[in-house]
Structure 1
């Protein structure tokens, strides 16, 4: 399906198509891509679980868990799109259809700005995660590089991209294992990025809708300056049409937000739990390896920075949605509402009443994604880290 706004969503389309999640993809292509991604995840689960089974102490388990938890998080994201396939299609249909409700060039420019912002978020987010993933993987080559530059009497212990057991001699087949892990990491990370970036695009789109509503309410008295003040019937008709069109867009934005919430709410609750535990365990590994193995500590440091960046991006998008939904009431209040016919002024109260309640993205209606709650999650992760560190002493 081709749309004239495809430019703003082309990166999302490519990511989702590769992992078999694009709503307009052919069924066979979707099934093949999704099956390939799931095979990569199963490959990772088998080798990581095998490593956990042969672990002889707590330290080995804690070393394996962070990346193992990451793979479960990716699986949750992939299944979220798979099990909500029809809702995702409806949401994407609305994403394109909403462009047809704008009446002026100014409104289209507002939506273009927000669509461009969404595209920019996708580029920055995906680039950062891939750069971090490559850096994380490259650090595992450090012992081999040191062996070549500063050789010892014996080879340094090998370091895999993540702890795993491949049922073969890891020293002999190291480079094969390294390539397998790196390829799997890039493919699985694509499933994570496809999910997250489409969510960012949805949020920026609904923020654009709220911005258009605010623009309409903020300029509702503009026609009053170019019309005769004594033509009250004409003015009343003008205000009625403007008000109805503004309410229509506002309702579209609220419906769009509710559909986002229905798709991601349960998934976000699972993901939030997973990431909070992962941050705590990774902090433990950083503190443990800091004085033992600088290379390992660096790897875990990169991993925890990526996890915090992930949480911050979602909190930032949730905060944007809250701010834009609440901005409607301010736009109405700052408008020259006193110049509008009295019966239209009363209608504004209905919109302002709805504007008191912020539109949010939540995790099962328990946790609201916002910058304020971002610090709450960090505090919870630090608390779990303290508990784990006390048991690890």
Structure 2
């Protein structure tokens, strides 16, 4: 049997985690396989060779992308040529549709089998992108159950695989062990702040998150800093340096810790989470934590999205439940007063006894629907495509 060459491109940390799981399972099917493309630390830990720094692709927003367009176009041109010169048996684009779909389309025309893992949000806006997806890839691997309907509508090959985070996180986690990890005292309340993994997100959200925590001390009547501990997970060393710089310029009258431990560990130790919208909100839900989901974007990007975006919600827990489970704040609503009001409710002992169990029941229901063994299902689907066998 010839050695399989499997190309993968992940554009951001969440995709890095998804792809790493698939690589792990594919290695069981093809022990001698070679994996290369663009990926982060989790993929590289599985023996993946990254040809470029993944952070160079981590750009978000319609307007923001324009600033980085020359670099993105240069990388895309180079990576296309590399895979034409060194054809893989299959190319897997993980999320990052604006970058990956173009590469998939190009490679598919060269006779290379292509997969897109994580459906573009055609269910949310710009549905006609489905035609571009059909032209780009032989198979779409989807992480949410509501996506299948739109692919059935257009008769394109799609498999719902669930979400790898739902597999990795226990339905009923042992919260105490994570509190011990951060030396949290029994009486201490803990707030997790997750302002995002990108520099722009952190610069935009962290100052107002810190102001919110300061207000929270007063709102809860906590006159001693040890009564509230705030923990901020840094996605990498660059974000850690940026976070420390912002903290130094802020007044933070509470016990504050910046850690390079995972966001998941921080959330599992916390009583509540204040975060930037995205995959982190899904992870907080799987960790069974009450949260406030926020996002700020450029004014022009917001105006464009407001016209095009179809769902009633933008936070993933709300989209999956098809109802408002957790508060979501956009643009000018991302202010300390509104966020503090909701977080104070979450940290109230009465809320924990009366309302939190109901929210956890909702989260458990969604968790169960997402927990399908995503890594293995994805690898097996890729194997079927490689071996041209029927499902």
Superposition TM-score, scaled by structure 2 size: 0.23
Normalized per residue, the structure richer in strand is: 2
The higher relative CO (CA closer than 8 Å, separation ≥ 6) is in 1
Superposition TM-score, scaled by structure 1 size: 0.23
Q: Which has the larger radius of gyration?
A: 1
Normalized per residue, the structure richer in helix is: 1
